[in-house]
Every structure is written in C-alpha cells, then in structure tokens.
Amino acid sequence: MKSLFQVIIRELRRLAPDPLVWFCIVVAPLLTALFFTTFMWQGLPTNMPIGLVDEDNTPTTRQIARNLDAMQQTRITANFADITEARRAMQRGEIYAFFYIPRGTTSLANQQKRPTISFYTNYSYLVAGSLSMRDMRMMSELASGAAARKVLYARGLTEQQAMAFLQPIVIETHPIGNPTLNYNVYLSNMLIPGILGIFIFMMTVYSIGSETKRGTASEWLGQAHGNIHRALVGKLLPQTVLFLLVGALIVIWLYGYMHFPCQCSPWTMMGVMSLYVLACQGMGVFMISMLPTLRLGLSFASLWGVVSFSICGMSYPTMAMDAPLQGAAMLFPLRHYFLLYVNCALDGYPLMNAGLHVLALLGFMLLPLLCGWWLKRQLLTVRYVP
Amino acid sequence: MSQYRFRESLSDFAAIFMDELRTVFRDQGVLIFFILVPLAYPLLYAYIYNNETVREVPAVVVDEGRSQLSRDFVRRVDATADVRVVAHCANMEEAKKLIRQRRAYGIVRLPRSFSADLSRMKQTSVRIYVDMSGMLYYKAILLACTNTSLDMGAELKVMRAPGTTEEQDLVTQYPIEYRQVDIFNPTAGFASFLIPAFLILLLQQTLVLGVGLSAGTARERNSYAELLPLSRHYNGLARIVLGKGAVYLLVFLWNAFYCLFVVPRMFSLPQIGSPTDVWLIALPFLVATVAFAMTCSVLIRQRETVFMIIVFCSVPLLFLSGVSWPGWSMPKFWKVVSWAFPSTFGINAFVKVNTMGATLADVRVEVISLWAQAAFYLGTTLLVYRNNIAAARRRLSEKKLNLRRRLDSRRFNAQSPSQQ
C-alpha cells in the first residue's frame, strides 16, 4: 500500500509541472466540447441559400417561388436567367440547390398538359443537400397540390375530400429520441467522447512510454516492488481521477446544460462515461505494451483514436460497411460507448439491455491484466532508440 | 563578388536540402507520417465508406388491418432498395421488443382502418417510428415509405375516379409534374461526399505532424536542444527556410499526386475537374501548409508534443471547412477561426473543382486566400526562425563565455599553487 502511494506521489511530481499534460487532460477536451456544441448551436441549419431559375415568370410561378421562400430551412438568395448560370453559382458554392421552372409552365398547366418543374440538389455537401432536397420536394408537392385542389373544389369536393383524393396515404413520422432531428444532438454526443478517447489513449501511452525514453522504467518498477499492476495503478490513478472529472463535466454540459435528450437517469450516463474512460485507459496500456517505443505507441494511439469516429457508426452506419469492418468495429471502445449511449440516453432502455457492451468495456479495462507481464518485460529490456 | 555570394548561398541551400532529406528518410517516425499514413489511410477510409449509402435497413411492420391493400403497401416498401421488412408483428409491444433487441431500426404501423379509409375516400395515415441512432436509417425508412405512399396514392386515384380517362386522372393528380435531379454526387453517397475533404485534411495533418516530429528530433539530437545546428552551411535565413521547405514540398507533391488523383480513380469517386486546375490549387495549398507547419514546429520542444496538439484537431478542422455542416450556418466567430488553416480553403477549392467541376476562376477566392496564407506563414516562419537562430547564438555565446570563465578560473586555480 505504501509503495502504491509512493508511485502516485512520484507520478504527480512528474506530471503536474508539465503544461502539456494539463492541456491534454483538462483544457483540450473541454474546449472541444465547447467547440462542437457552439458550432452546431442551431441544431438544424436554417435559411440555407438556394437559387431560382424562373424562365416562365408569371404570377403562378412567382407564387410557387414565394411559397418556397417561406420554407424554414431554405431561402432563395438569387434569381438566375438560365440553368448554366445557376450551375455556375452552385459550383462557386453560393447556393446548395436550385429550382427550375421552364418557359411555358403556366400555360401548359392551364391547358392541363402537365408541365414539369425540376429541382437540382448538390450532394457534395451531404447535410445541406439532403435538407434542401426535403424542402424542395415538399414545395413541389404543394405546388402541384395547390393547382389540383383548385380543380377539385371546382368540381364541388370538400377540402377533406380533396385532400383524400390528392394524398390518400399520409406518412406520419415519429423519430424516437430526437424528435427535432437536431444535428447537434446527433453529432456532439459522439464527437466529444471520441476526442476525449484520443487524449486518454495518448496520455496513457505517453506517461508509460516516457519512462523508457528517459530510462527511468526500472526506477518506476522498483518503487512498486517490481509489481507491474501496482506500478500501473499508481501511475494511472491521478490521470483516471482527472479524466473521470472531465467526463462528468461533459455529461453535465450535454444533458444538464444543453438539455440533450437523456431518457435514462443522468447517473447512468455518468456511469457509462466512467466505464468508457477506464476502458480507454486499459486500451492505452495495451497499445504501449504492443509497441513499446513512445513514438510508435503514440502513432498507434492517434490512428486508432481517429479511426474510431468513422468505424463507430455514428454518421455512417457500421451495418453498411463490409463484414470484416463490422467485426473490427468491436475493437474500438467508442463503438461500445455509442451503442450504450443509444440504448440508454436516446432510447431509454435499461442498461442491461446492452449488457454485452458493458462487458466489452469492462474487458478493455481489464486488458492490462493480460498484457502486464509482457509490458514489464518490454520495460526492462527495450532501450530507447531515438 | 555578388556572383560568388550567389554560388555560396546556392551551395548552402543544396547542403541544407540534402541534410534535411537525409533526416527525413532516416527518421522512422517522420517516415510514418510522410509516407506510410498518406499511402494507407486513404485506402482504409475509402474501404470504410465504399458502400456509399445504407441499403436494406431492417424494419418491422405492424399491420393492424391485414387487408389486401395494406399487404400491398408493405410489399412495396419491402421491395425498395432502402428498406427490408424483417418481421410482421401482431402489435406495437412486439415490434418495440424487436427494436430494443436491435433487430430492426424502424416500425411501420398501418392502422386498422387502412383499407376502409381508402375505399371510403378518407385520408389514412401510416405511422413510422424510427431509431435515431443514425440519420441514414431515418432517411432510408422515410424515403421508402413516402415513395410508396405517393405511388400507391397515384394508382388509387386512377382506380376510384370512374368516368374519366387516364390522362385526365393524371392531370388531376399532378397538374404540375416535378423531377428531382441530384448533381455532382448522384448516388448521394457518403464516400463521394466525405473522402475528397478527408484527403486534403490528411495531407495537411500528416505534413504538420511530420514537420513537427522532425523539428522535435532535431532539438533532441542537438546537444544544446536547439532547432538548428550551428554548422558552416546554416547561415542565411532564407537558405535555411527554403532548403528545409523544399524537402517537405517535394515529398508532398508526390503525396498530393497519389491522394488527389490516384485514390479517387481507384475508388471511382467523382473526379470531373481539370487536372491542371487541381494542381493549381494543390500547389498554393502545399506551400501554405509547409510554411504553416514550419511556423508551428518552432513550438515543438519534444517529439511527442506534436501528437498531442495536432491529432485531435482533425475532426474540428473538418467541421470548420464547412463541408459537413453547412458553412452558411456557421457561427461568425468560428468562421473567422477557420481562416487560419490552409485546410479550410484547400478543402473547399478541391471539392468544388474535383467533385463539382468548377473552374479555377470559380474558386479564385480560395486560391488567392491560399497564396495569401502561404505568404503570411512564410513571413512568420522567417520571423520565428530568425528569433530562434538569434536566441541560439546568444545562448551559445553565453555558454562559451561561461566556459571560458570556468577555464580561466581553473587555470588561475591551477596556477596559484605553483606560485606559492
């Protein structure tokens, strides 16, 4: 017990004066939390610029344009004389989409000859493209509907009957957990823990790897009486405490201050976050055990941390990836955190419904028990080669 | 005289260039970021996003009416590429259980009155409940159901309005037809959207990491922990900065060729820009990034610092470029912050030219900004290197002075006993 205490004191003396350590453990994770949440403060982008090519330019088409402008997410910022001009504006990034009403639309509609209007969306900007597509499609439906309703009213149908005729089947959507389709909820909930994970990997690798680099590994192990597990616990405990605090602050920020949906008790998310922090530390120990040179260990940590974002399935579903990647995703703590977050905070199911992922995180946490002896051997034999 | 000086500075430049080239290719850590990561990472990411979009999202159906029409609706939803019906449940409880077990991501619920409503000319509503863990599930299920409802609705109208011709019915339904055209990324795919931006970001991040790592090594190797060695060739500020910069530029011209031309071709990503225009963007982007990296590298005291500071920035930088979150909705403050990084302009210019086929004239704002950044960061690099060299000289002369004093005193001490 006394030796454990000594290791802790030694570690505090090593780390506390280094500003880089404070940057990585406290400043940067909290700063990124602030960054992402303020960056997507709006939740859903509004007033995205779109263009209009109205070759017909009659009261009817102007009415369509006015309706389109009234949509919440898009705003007509420019009128163009023809498609080429609109396309050029799109290529310059001035507009995300444009509406095209060809010459003769009104007269064809009056003759009941079914003219076609089109909308062009640019999916090079996926979010902007999908959102403006939704508005434009709705608008086109309405434009068509408005014209049709007039005919039906003229035939003596009531409004209800007319609507039933025009749109017999309505789709009512119920997005579970995130009813406003808030992108801040959707992305910040995962990006912030992802960044925290990168720092935990790196700090764990750094604090162990710097012992070999400075040639102090045997001193460190000596203080723990040669017991690698005691040495590891003593070394990582100060960081664990700080990271747990930062994790708790993030949970408070997301669910307490930002009021992101949290169907479970905030304590459950605190628990999930704490488990994730410990799992990342376990993974970090594994990384430096496998690649015991500081720079290789750090490269491993950074590459693993960055790939986490893509493979965890937050933006592009893991389900849609090739089978080997679906398996590989299990090797990333962020993947399990993601599934636990969805299970608890978003859907409000009991924690044990995703018990397997709790076990997986525990497994990551206990990895040092498996690779400890190997790490010890490496620490005592590997010489630092610059 | 001037010709002699020119020749001297040229030979200095060459010496510094060769020196740095040797350092880069001998340093395992630098090589990882200069060669290995730019080579392998695009392949990994393209592999992850290669399927472009999610297909056959599993959904369950709760059909309360079980009529011919409702079965028809379900069959059509199942037939779309977006959704696969994995189970028919008797009630919502059962369906929710499947969602909870993650065997399905959405519920399509048809009311008991589905068929009756339709035959009584009443509007009926189909409810969909979607798991929001991924926006793409939502999009897939919503799209499949909306398309089905529009198709089926159109047919119903035709059936139920007797005494009219088909053409008349069509007119009643859609007096104005509409058509959706997806341009530049016609499959609305994830890879086509994300990978081009990712490639530019990768170039910047690996360059900054590599240069920082090399600076860290230089300091650790140097016995006085200085960034630059004090050798015969290392005088003349411009020679030093240009000599080192030329090495980085050379390595990354190759990387840029691989990332910006070979990778999109390999994974058949959109690539409709003119190659000349792409190079005319890549060049200022690389020059700006090299200068940016060299300015930052002065801050690096230890090799490891660079990982801690640079790696986590990748994701925020991607957002700052405005490709994933629309730039128009970005808070002003973060927009101004984004102008500090070459990746912001590089990504926008490359996406516009490569993916959307814009010409150089269309992206002149970005290109001019990149050149401005190049000039600015070159200036800062010269400045910080000058300070660095001056400080190093000062420290060295102090050390020399200390040494001389110590030697003098030792000599004095050595002499004094003999005098006695």
Position A378 confidence tier, pLDDT thresholds 50, 70, 90: confident
Residues A197 and A91 in one domain: no
Report domain extents, chain B. 2-49+189-403, 57-173
Q: Is the pLDDT assigned to residue A137 strictly greater than 50?
A: yes
> Bigger pLDDT: A141 or B296?
B296
Q: Is the pLDDT assigned to residue B299 strictly greater than 70?
A: yes
Q: Which of A166, A193, A228 is the last residue of a domain?
A: A166
Of B129, B135, B362, the CB nearest to A174: B129
Of B181, B189, B356, the CB nearest to A118: B181
Query: Who's near B285: CB < 8 A, 6+ residues apart?
Result: B200, B203, B204, B342, B345, B346, B349, B350, B370
Nearest residue of chain B to residue A22 (CA atoms)? B308
pLDDT tens for each residue of B147-175? 888 888 877 776 666 556 666 666 666 66
Q: Is the pLDDT assigned to residue A384 strictly greater than 90?
A: no
Question: Domain B57-173, what fold?
Answer: abc type-2 transporter like fold (3.40.1710)
> Percent of chain B at pLDDT above 70?
89
Residues A232 and A374 in one domain: yes
pLDDT at B1: 47
- Angle at Cα B360 formed by Cα B354 and Cα B363, nearest 5°? 80
In degrees and rounded to multiples of 5, residue B11 shows phi and psi of -70, -35
Position B31 confidence tier, pLDDT thresholds 50, 70, 90: confident
pLDDT at A286: 95
Chain B hits for A124, Cβ within 8 Å = 184-185, 192-193, 196, 270, 323, 351, 355-356
How many cross-chain Cβ pairs, A to B, lie less than 8 Å apart?
326
Specify whether the CB–CB gap between A77 and B328 falls below 8 A.
no
pLDDT at B385: 86
Q: Is the pLDDT assigned to residue B6 strictly greater than 50?
A: yes
Give the residue among B303, B369, B307 at the shortest CA–CA distance from B340: B369
Residues A104 and A203 in one domain: no
pLDDT at B420: 42
Kindly report the nearest CA distance between residue A45 and chain B, in angstroms: 6
pLDDT tens for each residue of A287-304? 999 988 888 899 899 989
Interface test with A, best of B178, B222, B354, B366 (most A CBs within 10 A): B178
pLDDT at B172: 64
Give the residue among A223, A285, A209 at the shortest CA–CA distance from A4: A223
Give the residue among B147, B104, B100, B103 at the shortest CA–CA distance from B126: B147
Q: Is the pLDDT assigned to residue B232 strictly greater than 60?
A: no
Residue type for A135, please?
Answer: D
Q: Is the pLDDT assigned to residue A357 strictly greater than 60?
A: yes
Residues A58 and A73 in one domain: yes
Chain B hits for A18, Cβ within 8 Å = none
Pick from A111-115, B62-66, B174-178 the range whose average pLDDT is largest: B62-66
* B53 with A129: Cβ contact below 8 A: no
* B304 with A206: Cβ contact below 8 A: yes
Please state, rounded to an integer, the average pLDDT across all residues of chain A: 87
Residues A222 and A362 in one domain: yes
Chain B hits for A313, Cβ within 8 Å = 133-134
User: Is B185 exposed, middle or buried, given 0-12, 13-18 or 19+ CB atoms closer than 10 A?
Assistant: buried
Residue type for B250, please?
Answer: L
The domain in which residue A242 lies consists of: 2-41+182-381
pLDDT at B406: 81
pLDDT tens for each residue of A308-354? 999 998 888 888 888 899 999 999 999 999 999 999 998 888 999 98
Give the residue among A179, A182, A178 at the shortest CA–CA distance from A43: A182
Q: Which of A118, A136, A166 is the last residue of a domain?
A: A166
For residue A78, what is the domain's CATH number? 3.40.1710.10
Nearest residue of chain A to residue B125 (CA atoms)? A170
Give the residue among B210, B283, B292, B211 at the shortest CA–CA distance from B253: B283
* B138 with A181: Cβ contact below 8 A: yes
Average pLDDT of the segment spanning A373-384 = 81
Specify whether the CB–CB gap between B321 and B347 falls below 8 A.
yes
Domain contains A173: no
Residues A36 and A61 in one domain: no
Residues A110 and A221 in one domain: no
Residues A189 and A309 in one domain: yes
Residues A257 and A206 in one domain: yes
d(CA B41, CA B53): 20
d(CA A149, CA A363): 62
Q: Picking from B98-107, B144-153, B253-262, B404-413, which range would have the lowest pLDDT averaged per residue?
A: B404-413
In degrees and rounded to multiples of 5, residue B312 shows phi and psi of -70, -20
Which residues on adjacent β-strands are paired with residue A117? B178
Chain A hits for B131, Cβ within 8 Å = 176-177, 342, 347
> Percent of chain B at pLDDT above 90?
29
d(CA B353, CA B366): 11
pLDDT at B416: 59
Output helix, strand, coil percentages for chain A, rounded to the nearest 5.
Answer: 70, 10, 20
Nearest residue of chain A to residue B144 (CA atoms)? A171
The two structure tokens encoding residue B144: 């499949």
Domain contains A136: yes
The two structure tokens encoding residue A195: 């960044």
Residue with tokens 């017999």: A168
Interface test with B, best of A44, A54, A83, A125 (most B CBs within 10 A): A125
Domain contains A279: yes
* B126 with A172: Cβ contact below 8 A: yes
Continuous segment of H or E residues that includes residue B129? strand B124-131
* B128 with A91: Cβ contact below 8 A: no
d(CA B220, CA B226): 8
Q: Is the pLDDT assigned to residue A264 strictly greater than 50?
A: yes
* B130 with A306: Cβ contact below 8 A: no
- The reported pTM is 0.88
Of A166, A294, A317, the CB nearest to B134: A317
Specify whether the CB–CB gap between A334 and A364 falls below 8 A.
no
The two structure tokens encoding residue B217: 């090594």
CA B233 to each of CA A115, A139, B18, B229, B361: distance values in angstroms, whole numbers, following the listed order: 76, 69, 11, 9, 42
User: Is B158 exposed, middle or buried, given 0-12, 13-18 or 19+ CB atoms closer than 10 A?
Assistant: middle
Average pLDDT of the segment spanning A352-381 = 91
* A130 with B139: Cβ contact below 8 A: yes
> Bigger pLDDT: B86 or B132?
B86
d(CA B259, CA B198): 10
Residues A162 and A238 in one domain: no
Domain count, chain A: 2
Kindly report the nearest CA distance between residue B121 and chain A, in angstroms: 6
Position B59 confidence tier, pLDDT thresholds 50, 70, 90: very high
The two structure tokens encoding residue B49: 């996003």
In degrees and rounded to multiples of 5, residue B127 shows phi and psi of -100, 135
Rg (CA), chain B: 33
Residue type for A86, please?
Answer: A
Burial readout B321-335 (b: 16 or more C-beta within 10 A, e: otherwise):
bbbbbbbbbbeeebe
pLDDT at B234: 62
Sign of the Cα pseudo-torsion (B92, B98, B104, B105, in order): positive
Specify whether the CB–CB gap between A253 and A337 falls below 8 A.
no
CA A369 to each of CA A217, A289, B262: distance values in angstroms, whole numbers, following the listed order: 19, 12, 44
pLDDT at B119: 81
Beta strands in A31-135 (DSSP E): 48-54, 74-80, 97-101, 116-122
Residues A272 and A215 in one domain: yes
Residues A105 and A194 in one domain: no
> Bigger pLDDT: B316 or A63?
B316
